[in-house]
Amino acid sequence: MKTAELLEKLHRADQEYHHLGKTLALLQWDEETCLPSGGVEERAEQLALLQGIAHEHFVSPGIGHCLTELGSTPENPRGDEGLPALERDFLRVMRRAYDREVKLPVKFVSDAARAEGLSQAAWARARKNNDFAAFLPHLRAMIDIARQKARYWGYSDAGDGKGSLYDGLLDTYEPGLTARETGALFGPLGERLNALIKKLPPPQACPFLDQDYDTGVQVRFNHALMDYLGFDTGRGRLDVSAHPFTTSLGADDVRITTRYFPRNLLSSVFSVIHESGHAFYEMSFPPELRFSCLADGASMAVHESQSRFWENVVGRSRPFWDGLYPLLASHFPGQLGSVDIDTFYRRVNQVRPSLIRVDADEVSYSLHIILRFELEKQLISGELLPEDLPGRWREYSRRFLNLESETDADGVLQDVHWSMGSFGYFPSYALGNLYGLQFRAQMQKDLPEFDSALAAGNFKPIHEWLRDRIYRWGCRLEPSELLLKVTGERLSAEPFLNYIEAKYTELYG
């Protein structure tokens, strides 16, 4: 078979797998947003069937044959040097995905999808009812599935030099990154953030936020906020779920969710900004990458760099609120009509370590991630038993945040990730902070009008810079290659820590 025919066959198989994946994503989005509670078990069977079909399709011998014929091997994933650069990048991503998927038995994949569907529904009920015991059997199942995946991929918990089981899970989201390397970044990061928190004055009461904010008005404001940011509502939408998330159902169908609390206005506002950052990435891959495995983020940390950049670097900046605050105050004149912009801006950036990760300020947020990183390593290694997790969670909350949750709903049950089996995902958030601030440093060099554009509500230069420097590549580049290409630097915590220390020194004197 000729090279052109091999590539055409491989692209066709990739597109079919892509469409099957988006169909699965639609069923999962529906489960998280509007599925009746009685439909959970049947939905789990639907997910199991479709995931098994998609897996069988992707690991067919024909795909392996095409990859080999094009010169793509585990040792040389990009294939023959004479191929165009775009095709070689395509082969690299296909080879990595194929080599991982082909090691998973079809029955295991279907069983895992079924268990994940049931687990997510059980988590939502358990969180609502503050009932960890009801979720515990599902948590055990998710841990067992995660361990087995890593074993299939070739990782070991026997210390035989292949890397730990947790390394195999972390590699799913951050290719090539190990727990040891992650810990080496997180250790100094946690120390300096804790040192800064100890220097800051205690948080002050904020009466203007400690009152009811009608959730219907919050919904209207958040739709106006999406328009303000440049979110194309012809290609995406906002819904409600138990935990905010973004899912891509197609190049022109990217959906985000939030949740509403009458006495926590900022929760939905910042989750909408955060999820919009993910959506901008998903909506901005160039035409040549559409319907392809290349239409994805370079890694989850790079994806989180976009959400964290929009939520914090943009969303917690003074120029941003100079432009947006009048719109927010007009939606809530009774609560905010007499509150000046200086007072509001200081409250938006008040450092108040909280129990809930998604509501955390940008100084203490990474401490939430380090806490979860340490716990899930212990769960996967077996050092920590699932039934002991709530007690260890409270112990680590005191250690990292100087706080202790009174309920499991505000503690170990607050995040959806473990119910999905997404062990190894959490580090991406803190790593995303690091990537995001390195990107931001380069952006400010290239866009001296950065602050004035924010104040004017003009996000076009920022969107164009991100499309040109980051989004255009999809996952053609490894995360370290992308960072080097954009900034000329390797991953470091210093730009993030310097930004945090400078900003909060100025805020608090």
Half-sphere exposure of 158 toward its Cβ, with a 13 Å CA cutoff?
5
For residues 186 and 497, what is the distance between their CA atoms, to the nearest angstrom? 12
pLDDT for 202 equals: 87
d(CA 236, CA 240): 14
Question: In the chain, which segments carry CATH 1.10.1370.30?
Answer: 198-368+419-508
Dihedrals φ, ψ of 356, to 5°?
Answer: -100, 120
- Paired residues of 237 in beta bridges: 255
- Written as six digits, the tokens of 158 are 């026997």
What are the Cα distances from residue 130, in Å, to 32, 34, 117, 125, 359?
18, 21, 20, 8, 19
> What is the β-pairing status of strands 236-240 and 246-250?
unpaired
Q: How far apart are CA 453 and CA 473, in angstroms?
A: 25
Residue 203: per-residue pLDDT:
86
The whole-number mean pLDDT for each consecutive block of 10 residues of the chain, a chain of 509 residues, reads 93 96 96 94 95 94 95 96 97 97 96 95 95 98 97 79 85 94 95 92 89 97 98 97 94 97 96 98 96 96 97 97 98 96 95 91 96 97 97 95 92 95 97 97 95 96 98 97 97 95 91
| Beta strands across the sheet bearing 236-240 | 236-240, 253-258, 246-250
Tokens 């090539």, residue located? 176
Q: Judge contact between 404 and 398, C-beta under 8 A.
A: yes
pLDDT of residue 160: 47
Distance CA 328, CA 336 (A): 8
Q: Which of 275, 282, 311, 376 is catalytic?
A: 275
Angle, nearest 10°, between helix axes 165-173 and 179-199?
70
Predicted TM-score (pTM) above 0.85: yes
With a CB cutoff of 8 Å and minimum separation 6, the contacts of 418 are 123, 139, 142, 376
Comparing CA positions, the residue from 319, 314, 215, 218 lying closest to residue 273 is 314
* DSSP H/E element including 256: strand 253-258
Task: Identify the pLDDT of residue 33.
Answer: 96
pLDDT at position 162 is 59
Q: Is the CATH number 3.40.50.2300 carried by domain 198-368+419-508?
A: no
Sign of the dihedral defined by the CA atoms of residues 370, 376, 378, 380, in that order: negative
Structure-block tokens of residue 321: 């609120």
Task: Tell me how far CA of residue 63 lies from CA of 5, 6, 10, 66, in angstroms.
Answer: 13, 9, 6, 5
DSSP for 144-170, written as a single string: HHHHHHHHHHT--SS-SSS--HHHHHH
Active site (annotated) includes residue 275: yes
Alpha-carbon Rg of the chain, whole angstroms? 23
Q: Cβ-count burial of 199 within 10 angstroms (0-12 exposed, 13-18 middle, 19+ buried)?
A: exposed
Residues in the chain, total: 509
* Residue 38 CB partners (closer than 8 Å, separation 6+): none
Give the integer Cα–Cα distance in Å for 20 and 26. Answer: 10
Q: What is the pLDDT of residue 405?
A: 87
Give the H/E segment covering residue 250: strand 246-250
Strand partners, 240: 258
Report the first-to-last Cα separation within the chain, whole angstroms.
70
Asked if residue 457 lies in contact with residue 230, where contact means CB atoms within 8 angstroms, the answer is: no
